[in-house]
Amino acid sequence: MPDWGSLLDFCAAYYATQLVRCAAFSFLLLGLVMLLRKMLFSRRTFIRGLLWSSFLLIPFLGKLKLFYENKAVVRITGRITHGTMTCLWADRIYMAGILIAAVCIFGKRLRLRKSVAGMEKISLDNMQVRITDMNVTPFTVGLLKPKIVIPKVVWGSYSQDELKAVVQHERTHIRLGHLWFGLAWDILRCLLWVNPLLTICQKQFRADLEDICDRVCIQSIGNYTF
């Protein structure tokens, strides 16, 4: 019979080592992204959004050869690697942290989906939208079957044309795949929970997605006009 305890310890040590290395990279990359979007690309909406896509590479950087062949990197990360490979309690803590982060982040997503499922449905522009009493801005939830949610105060005070513009904005988010980008960011936050800056900078990440969506909507209106 296989020794499941030893197998789990090996997997925890292996993945904790890889993810700790990725977390170290994420600090550097996040600093670089924040610097570039502030200093060089403050007016370049689409380039700012493209910078965030570089984080999709982070989960694959833990196995780079430089961790084994570059003397300077080996010297810097050697203690971390040694610790994660020998201190099983640290590996277990790291893996438990991933589980706790996943429960917190995706539990919140599930609660929101259940809340949206019970909201009032109204037809607008040949599409059903949900109306909520929550004090929020319009948003979309759901990956495979997206649902657009509009606050009741917006629904009651906006004209039909303005409401259609809101729906078009949310549809653009869906078309550009921003809901999937948000999912990828949340997964990254779980895997690299030791980097709290990923959560702190989530506001800038979402703001750049909003700017891209606004720009695309404006361009589509311009193209339609002319």
Q: What is the domain count for the chain?
A: 1
Confidence of residue 225 (pLDDT cuts 50, 70, 90): very low
How many CB atoms lie under 10 A from the CB of residue 22? 23
Q: Measuring CA to CA, how many Å separate 195 from each of 22, 36, 94, 97, 190?
A: 10, 20, 12, 12, 10
User: What Rg, from alpha-carbon coordinates, does the chain have?
Assistant: 22
> Mean pLDDT across the stretch 152-178?
91
Residue 145's contacts (CB-CB under 8 Å, 6 or more residues apart) are none
Confidence of residue 12 (pLDDT cuts 50, 70, 90): confident
pLDDT(2) > 70: no
> CA torsion 106→107→109→115, rounded to 10°?
170
Residue-number span of the structural domain to which 154 is assigned: 4-225
**Looking at the DSSP assignment, which residues form a beta bridge with residue 151?**
132
